[in-house]
Amino acid sequence: MDYDERQLRARLSTPLIIAVRVLFALAAGCLIAAMDTRPGWDDTGVTAGALFLASAAASAVGLRWWLAPIFVAGPLLASELPGLGWGALLVVGISLAGAGIGAAARAALRPRAA
């Protein structure tokens, strides 16, 4: 790792940048939860796809792979708390899979030192 890459990493790890990443994931999670809890919403596949893509995007922009599912799936789990059952494991699993794919994509697209 050369000096320029260290400077870039230091700038991308400031508290403000981290807060923006967390807010992005939390906003996506809140939107998914609001969509899923609407009366008449009965499309689990769209909700699962949105969870997967939001976790992948949050992880791809630099949020830690294990934090992305917490902020993306957390609002949905909190909104479904009274009737929470085995479906919670699916929500967490789908979100973890998306975060793993996002982290892998970020690692694959990161420039390598020659």
Q: Determine the structural domain holding residue 68 and report its residue range.
A: 3-109
User: How far apart (Å, rounded) are the C-alpha atoms in residues 16 and 44?
Assistant: 34
User: How far apart (Å, rounded) are the C-alpha atoms in residues 65 and 68?
Assistant: 6
- Predicted local distance difference test score (pLDDT) of residue 85: 81
More confident residue, 28 or 14: 28
Question: Considering the domain boundaries, does residue 9 fall inside one?
Answer: yes
Find the mean pLDDT for residues 15-31: 92
Question: Considering the domain boundaries, does residue 104 fall inside one?
Answer: yes
Question: Considering the domain boundaries, does residue 23 fall inside one?
Answer: yes
Question: Considering the domain boundaries, does residue 96 fall inside one?
Answer: yes
Question: Considering the domain boundaries, does residue 38 fall inside one?
Answer: yes
Question: Considering the domain boundaries, does residue 114 fall inside one?
Answer: no
The structural domain count of the chain equals 1
Q: Which amino acid is at 112?
A: R
Question: Considering the domain boundaries, does residue 10 fall inside one?
Answer: yes
Angle at 33 between CA 50 and CA 58, to 5 degrees: 45
Helix, strand or coil for residue 99? helix
Q: What is the pLDDT of residues 46-99, one digit of tens each?
A: 999 999 999 999 999 989 999 999 999 999 999 988 877 888 889 999 999 999
Find the largest Cα–Cα distance for the chain.
Answer: 55
Query: What average pLDDT does the chain have?
Result: 88
Q: What percent of the chain has pLDDT over 70?
A: 88
This prediction's pTM: 0.84
